[in-house]
């Protein structure tokens, strides 16, 4: 199946949205109050970052379902690998986490595999 530019953009955007959600989950986790009692822990689960991440995941899920209406799952699902690629890059850029050279080598293989799967 040949994907349209809109389908490729939509699938890519879903993956990037999932990646952004993971970054927000990390920010929420870093602000959890784990030693202040149950009420503090439960209150910290209502953080802005966590609620925004859940909203992003909800929007991404709805977009995913919409995209699956016109794209076979076997073609669409490999795009999820873009989330795998985007999370460490976003973590490096926004959180200052380190990325190894081995990561970039693996990323190249993942993106090459995605290209092989979706090319006409």
pLDDT surpasses 80 at 36? no
pLDDT surpasses 90 at 33? no
What distances in angstroms separate CA 76 from CA 7, 54, 101, 103, one per listed residue? 9, 22, 28, 24
Longest dimension (CA), the chain: 56
pLDDT classification of 110: cutoffs 50, 70, 90: confident
- What is the average pLDDT score of the chain? 90
What mean pLDDT comes out for the span 78-88?
A: 87
- CA 68/CA 7 separation, integer angstroms: 10
pTM here is: 0.84
pLDDT surpasses 80 at 120? no
Q: What is the 3-state secondary structure (H, E, C) of the chain?
A: CCCCHHHHHHHHHHHHHHHHHHHHHHHHHHCCCCCCCHHHHHHHCCCHHHHHHHHHHHHHHHHHHHHHCCCCHHHHHHHHHHHHHHHHHHHHHHHCCCCCHHHHHHHHHHHHHHHHHHCC
% of the chain at pLDDT higher than 90:
56
């Amino acid at each position: 199946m040949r994907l349209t530019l809109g389908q490729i953009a939509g699938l890519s955007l879903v993956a990037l949205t999932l990646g952004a959600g993971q970054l927000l989950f990390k920010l929420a986790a870093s602000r959890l109050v784990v030693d202040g009692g149950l009420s503090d822990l439960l209150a910290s689960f209502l953080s802005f970052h966590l609620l925004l991440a859940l909203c992003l995941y909800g929007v991404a899920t709805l977009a995913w379902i919409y995209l699956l209406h016109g794209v076979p799952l076997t073609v669409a699902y490999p795009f999820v690998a873009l989330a795998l690629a985007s999370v460490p890059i976003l973590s490096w850029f926004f959180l200052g986490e380190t990325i190894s050279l081995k990561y970039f080598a693996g990323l190249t293989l993942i993106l090459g595999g995605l290209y092989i799967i979706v090319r006409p």
